């Protein structure tokens, strides 16, 4: 079992899972706690001598490392590079506020008056 302790926030798990699925990678993920109590980083595991291992090795050579490749992917997903180790902030809105924002957006794009 190969273990990669990344500096990627656990908050981007869904994006990393999409990347793994698109590249047919069989990965296991675990959160890793840091010194800061509000931050969790991602640990990725995969089997040695598997198709995943070979694919990651090939892709890592092209992208100068496995973690660098994942960070490049996140940047292409419009994640600010500074936010990769920090994570994303969850913004909670009430249903009324979301409806109000939606109606305002509809007016701006010309769907309603």
Contacts of 60 (CB under 8 A, 6+ apart): 66, 68, 69
pTM of the entire predicted model: 0.70
Domain boundaries, the chain: 2-109
Q: Say whether pLDDT at 67 is over 80.
A: yes
> Residue 91: which pLDDT band, with cuts at 50, 70 and 90?
low
Distance CA 33, CA 60 (A): 25
Give the model's pLDDT for residue 89: 54
Average pLDDT value for residue range 14-18: 92
User: How big is the chain by its Cα radius of gyration, in Å?
Assistant: 18
Mean pLDDT of the chain: 87
pLDDT at position 97 over 80: yes
For residue range 47-56, what is the model confidence (pLDDT) as tens digits?
A: 999 999 999 9
pLDDT, residue 92, reads: 65
């Amino acid at each position: 079992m190969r273990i990669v302790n990344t500096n990627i926030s656990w908050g981007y798990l869904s994006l990393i899972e999409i990347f793994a699925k698109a590249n047919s990678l069989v990965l296991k993920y675990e959160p890793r706690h840091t010194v800061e109590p509000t931050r969790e980083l991602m640990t990725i595991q995969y089997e040695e001598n598997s198709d995943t291992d070979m694919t990651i090795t090939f892709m890592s050579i092209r992208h100068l490392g496995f973690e660098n490749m994942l960070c490049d992917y996140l940047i292409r997903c419009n994640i600010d590079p500074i936010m990769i180790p920090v994570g994303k902030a969850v913004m909670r809105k009430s249903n009324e506020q979301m409806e109000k924002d939606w109606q305002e957006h509809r007016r701006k794009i010309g769907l309603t008056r």
